[in-house]
Amino acid sequence: MFCCLRTVRRLCLDKILLQCILQSRTLSGADAINALRPFYFAVHPDFFGQHPKEREVNENSLKRLNGYLENLQKPGFRSFKPTQLTFYVREREPNSSNVQEPFSASGFRAVSFTLHTRDLLSTVLDILNSCSLSTEHVQSLNVNSQPHKEAKSTVNRPIKWDKTYYSFTGFKDPEEELEQAQRVETTLLSWLDYNEASAVKKLKKSLPLRKELERLKIELSHELQLSDIRWQRSWGIAHRCSQLHSLGRLVQQRPEILENVKGRTVVFTDRSGMSAAGHIMLGTMDVHHHWTKIFERLPNYYKLQKRLLLLEDQISQLLGGIQVIYIEELQPLFTLEEYFETLNSFYNKLRDSRLPFHPRSLRGLQMILESDRYAPSLHELGHFMIPTVCDPAALQWFIFAKAQEARENLKRKEEMMITEKELINTSMERFSLDRLYKEPSVSSAQMIDCCKRLLEESLPYLQGMHLCISHFYSVLQDGDLCIPWNWKN
C-alpha cells in the first residue's frame, strides 16, 4: 500500500514539476546535461572498468542517448522514433528501489526504457525516473533559455479535441501518433533502408584510415615480433591509428626496452600493466614514460606469471584435476597481480579444507574464479563459475552433482563454435560483407540464431559493409552497422 502511494505521489509531483517549469521556461541543452548528472554518475563506463560487458552496454547506450538529445535540440526536428535503451546502474545501497529490475552477475541493476518524448524536460524526467533517481534537483535549475513553442502551447491550451475534429480537419491526432509510435517495433529491413546511406558515407570516409591502421598493425607486429595487437574498447579507427603511432615513436626512441615482447599480445586499454591472461596492457591515457616502465618491468611480470601458472596447477590438483582458466570475454579485466592474489587466497582456503577429491577424477572439466559471486554455478559453455568465498563443502557437492552436465555442455560448446564459424563464413559470402563480427557480450548460441535468420533474408543493403552483431541498432562513427542478434522483421 505504501509503495503504491509513494509511486502515485512521485508521479503527481513530477507532473506538477513539469507543468511549473514549462509555464516559465524550457530546458536548454546545458540544463539537461546538468539535470542528468546523477544519471551519468550512475552509468558512466569508467566506473565499470573491471566489468567489460556492462561497460560496453553503457558506452553504446550513451552514444544513442546523446544522439537522441541532440536531435531534440535541432530546430524543426520532428522525425522522432522511439528509442529503446538499456543501462547497467550502480546501486547506491541494496534494495534502494521498490522496482524489481534484473541484476547482472556482477551485481549491477539492468534498466531498460523507451524514449519517445519530444522535449528535453520530459526526456530528462523519464530517464531519471526509469533509473529510480531523484528529480527534485530539476526544479532548482536556473534555466535562461527561451520558451519552447511546442511546450508553451501545451500548457496555455490544454484542450483535448474530440476524435471527430481530426477526422474532419485532416489534422493528425498527437495522442494517436504517440500510441502508434509506442506500438511500432523497429524491423531490420526498415532500419537498414533508413540508415544505409549514412553508413555507406561513413564507411567510405574511413577507408583510407582503415588501410593505414592495417599497415601500422602489420609493421609493428612484424618489427616487435608480436603475437597480436588488440583493443579492449570499441575506439574509432582514427583513435586506434593514433595509439599505434605513439607505440611506433616509442620503438624509435627506446628500441632496447622492447626486446622482451616477442610472442606477446599488446592490448590498448584503460590502464597499463600485464593482464591476467598475460597480455601487455598499454593505458591510452598514459604517456610514454608509463609505457616505458611497463616494458622495463616485463622480466618481473614473466616471473610472476610462472608463479601464477604453478598456483593454477596446485588448485587443479586439490580439485581432482579440474582446469583453472581465465576467459577474457566473460571475466573482469584483472591485472596479473590482482589475479594472483585472488588465486592465492582461494588456494589457501582449499588447502586448509582438505576436500576429498579423487586425483584426476575431474580431468577435462574447467572452472573460472569470480570475486563478485556467492554461489557456484555452471555456465552454458560448460565451465564452472566458482566464487572465491564459496564454502568448500558446498563447492564439492555442487561440482560432483553437475560434473556430467558440464561435460555435455563442453562437448556442445565445441560443436557450437564450429557451427558459428561456418555460418559466419556463409553469411559473409552470401551478402558480400567485408566483415562480420559480434560483440563479446553476444553468445555463440545468439550468433548462430542470428546468422541462420539472416540467411533466410534478401539483404542487398549489406554488400561491402562491416556488420556487427550486438544488442541494439546503431551506425558506428566509422560506418559499421550494428544490429541486435534478435532483430525483428
Domain termination site, one of 390, 414, 438: 414
Q: Quote the Cα angle for 144-146-147, to 5°.
A: 120
Q: Is 482 helix (H, G, I), strand (E, B) or coil?
A: strand
User: Could you tell me the three cell numbers for 441?
Assistant: 557480450
Sign of the torsion formed by the C-alpha atoms of 475, 465, 198 and 477: positive
User: Could you tell me the three cell numbers for 390?
Assistant: 564459496
Q: Which residues are 475's β-sheet partners?
A: 481
Sign of the torsion formed by the C-alpha atoms of 367, 368, 369 and 372: negative
Residues 222 and 82 placed together within one structural domain of the fold: no
Contact 319, 355 (CB under 8 A): yes
| End-to-end CA separation in angstroms for the chain | 42
CA 283 to chain CA mean position, Å: 19
Residues 197 and 129 placed together within one structural domain of the fold: no
What pLDDT sits at residue 325?
94
CA dist 248 and 243 (Å) reads 9
Residues 115 and 220 placed together within one structural domain of the fold: no
What pLDDT sits at residue 286?
78
Pairing of strands 228-231, 265-269: parallel
Question: Residue 2: which H helix or E strand, with range?
Answer: helix 2-24
Residues 251 and 357 placed together within one structural domain of the fold: yes
Contact 140, 27 (CB under 8 A): no
Residues 332 and 406 placed together within one structural domain of the fold: yes
Residues 253 and 365 placed together within one structural domain of the fold: yes
Domain termination site, one of 370, 399, 414: 414
* Domain total of the chain: 2
**280: in domain:** yes
Residues 114 and 215 placed together within one structural domain of the fold: no
**270: in domain:** yes
Residues 251 and 392 placed together within one structural domain of the fold: yes
CA dist 275 and 281 (Å) reads 6
Residues 207 and 72 placed together within one structural domain of the fold: no
**448: in domain:** no
What is the three-state SS of 175-213?
Answer: HHHHHHHHHCCCCHHHHHHHHHHHHHHHHHHHHHHHHHH
What pLDDT sits at residue 105?
46
* 0.75 surpassed by pTM: no
Q: Which residues of 245-278 are buried (b: 16+ CB within 10 A; e: fewer)?
A: ebbeebbeeeeebbeebeebbbbbbbbbbbbbbe
Domain termination site, one of 354, 388, 414: 414
CA dist 321 and 38 (Å) reads 48
User: Could you tell me the three cell numbers for 287?
Assistant: 604517456
CA dist 429 and 449 (Å) reads 18
**176: in domain:** no
Give the chain's radius of gyration (CA, Å).
Answer: 27
What pLDDT sits at residue 152?
39
Residues 264 and 407 placed together within one structural domain of the fold: yes
Q: Is 266 helix (H, G, I), strand (E, B) or coil?
A: strand
Residues 231 and 129 placed together within one structural domain of the fold: no
**247: in domain:** yes
Fill in the DSSP letter of residue 469.
E
Which ranges of 46-187 would DSSP assign to H, the alpha helix? Answer: 52-72, 120-130, 149-156, 163-169, 174-183
Contact 196, 189 (CB under 8 A): no
Instruction: Kindly report the backbone phi and psi dihedral angles of residue 304, in degrees, each rounded to the nearest multiple of 5, phi listed first.
Output: -65, -35
**315: in domain:** yes
**269: in domain:** yes
Q: Which residue has the cell 574447467?
A: 366
Q: Residues of the chain whose pLDDT is less than 70? A: 1-27, 46-50, 74-81, 91-107, 139-185, 372
Residues 120 and 195 placed together within one structural domain of the fold: no
**195: in domain:** yes
Which domain covers residue 303, as residue numbers?
190-414
Q: Is 466 helix (H, G, I), strand (E, B) or coil?
A: strand
